[in-house]
Each structure stands twice: as C-alpha cells, then as structure tokens.
Amino acid sequence: MKLKKLRQKGHAYYFDAGGKPRRWIALGSDVVEAMRRYKVLIADKAPSGTVSEILRAHVLAVAGTVAPSSLVQYRSWAKHVEAVCGDVQADTVTQADILQYLDLCPRTSGPGEIGLLSAAYRRAMRGGRLVFNPCVGARSDRPKPKRTRYITDAELHAIIGNATPLLAIAIELAYCTALRVSDLLKLRWDDFVDGGVVATKKTGQRQRFTVDENMQALLDRARALQTKVASVNVLATRRGQPLNQKTVWRWWTDTCKLAGVEGAVWHDLRAKAGTDADALGRDATALLGHSDQATTRVYLRGLKINTIEPMKRRKM
C-alpha cells in the first residue's frame, strides 16, 4: 500500500522530508523497523487524532451510502467504543487493546463494533493520518452464542390473537415469506402482481412468492385496512403511511407481554419459518434467501429429527 511520504529505493525505505534540496531520511531495509520509524516521523506531519475523531469522521463519511438502519447501528456501536477509548490517540492503540476489548465486551455486538473501528482506521490510513490498523487480525476466542429461542405454534397463535389487525397481518406475512423486517415493510402491491419479484436488500437475492389461497387472504386483509388512502405498500397505516421498524418492534414487544410470551424477538419469526420449512422437508435455504446452507443452519433451531437406519454387521 502506498503511504504518504514513504519512498522505497531498492530494498531500503526512506522518509521524504521535502525541502530544497529534497531530503530523504533513511529508515532502513527491515520493513517492521522502517514502519516504526516512519510512524514517528509522520506523526509530526499529520496528527492521528483520537479514536472518537476517526470514528465520527468515518460515520459521517458513510452517511447516505448505507441504509438508515445501518447508520443508526453504526452510531450506537461508535458510542460503545468511544465510552471505552474515545479520548485515546488512535495511533497509540495496540492489537492487545483490541483483543482485550473483544474478550471483555459484555455485548454480542463486540465484533461489529471492532469492525466499525477497523473501517475508521482504514479511512484514516488512506488520508495519511495513520499507518497501522490494530484491528486487523484481531479475533476473540470466545465462542459466539447461538440463539436457540423457538416460537412454538401455540405462542405464535397467542401473539397474533393479542395483536392489532395490522400487526397480525405483518406477523403472518413475516412468517409466510421469512423476509427480514426491512424487506417486509417495503413490500409493494405490485410485488405480488403478474409474478412480481422481491429483491432482498441485504443480499440482493431475488425471490418470487406464489400467491396461494393463504397469501391472497392476507393481502385482502391488508388492503381492507387502507380505508382512507391507498398506499403502494402492503403494510401501511389507514392514512397510507408506511410502517417503520421501530414502531413494529414496539408493537411486537407490547403484544408479547399481553400474550404472556417471554424472550421472543421479531427476528425469531424468520428463524421459526426456516425451522418449520426444514422440518417439513422444504428448501429452507431458498425460503430464507440464502446463497448457501451454512448460513441457513445458523437460523435453524434444531427441531428436525433425522431418522437413521442402523448399521448391520456384514456376515463373514
């Protein structure tokens, strides 16, 4: 990677100090030692800034290029990192510091937070402010917890029974299609007309949902709720306004309490759909819109029981 003011001649490295006549400072031929000396010299030319400064600069730079929900998540992750080392000069952070952060982080979002910090370091390196990214190669040895919560049929029935008509339709559509909430809330009426195709935002996977009797009944119920203003979105308020994720999640939490269902989050609907499809022998990978079965296995809650034919000893 080309670094500002770093020059190479043969096997040796130099720091271009500029001036007239031009002055090159020898850094040696050992790349590790050369980078250490370069880091000291470049610090006088371009201050690295604090961890908070490079994080905020990165989040500001990606605003408008990522989904609004992703930007909200980035800002949340940045706050967690800043709470620990926001005032620290970015060029003094070591890989040992990053590993300690990952090992001690009480949240499952720790790897994501360090991933965001790594992206901020890369941006700062491209600008010549930094020469080293301590996040590269840092991995926690802690096993990643696997969510095992499975919403039973009885629990789903209870939740739908306590939901408002609009939320009930949203829940049933989420189960039938196994779409992520962001894709679900963007469903349009024309996605179900003449073999319309739904392109998922996260992976770009294109899916076509068959409008069977059950799906048509759900669509008819959703259409009947749009009494004042017809919306292009399937899930919308009576005034035609599309729903947003935070509202749906809040409704879900309140409804689960009314139904007496504990520990269930909205995303468990997608896991239930995939698990039930797999148990019925259907293609759960296609339903979930994954490109490989390894990703699908993360969603399955282990309810499928394989029937094994016992081995028979061969006769001699």
Q: What is the mean pLDDT of each run of 10 residues along the chain (316 residues)?
A: 78 80 82 79 64 91 81 93 92 92 89 94 86 87 76 93 94 88 85 59 63 85 84 84 88 95 91 84 73 67 63 72
In a domain, 206, yes or no: yes
At 177, list the tokens: 């299609």
pTM above 0.75, yes or no: no
Residues 24 and 78 in one domain: no
Contact 125, 133 (CB under 8 A): yes
Domains contained in the chain, number: 3
- Nearest CA-CA partner of 176 in 214, 150, 213, 148: 214
Handedness of CA 20, 21, 22, 25 (dihedral sign): negative
Q: Which pLDDT does position 196 carry in this prediction? A: 47
Quote the distance between the C-alpha of residue 298 and its chain's center. 14
Contact 159, 258 (CB under 8 A): no
Question: Using only C-alpha atoms, what is the Rg of the chain?
Answer: 27
Task: Supply the CATH number for residue 221's domain.
Answer: 1.10.443.10
At 267, list the tokens: 């995303």
Q: Which pLDDT does position 6 carry in this prediction? A: 84
Q: Using CA atoms, how far apart are residues 285 and 287, in angstroms rounded to an integer?
A: 5
For residue 227, the enclosing domain spans 153-299
In a domain, 314, yes or no: no
In a domain, 107, yes or no: yes
Scan for tokens 């969510």, then name that residue: 147
Q: Using CA atoms, how far apart are residues 164 and 134, in angstroms rounded to an integer?
A: 49
Q: Which pLDDT does position 305 carry in this prediction? A: 54
Q: Which pLDDT does position 163 carry in this prediction? A: 94
Buried b (16+ CB within 10 A) or exposed e, 165-174: ebbbbbbbbb
Contact 238, 226 (CB under 8 A): yes
In a domain, 147, yes or no: no
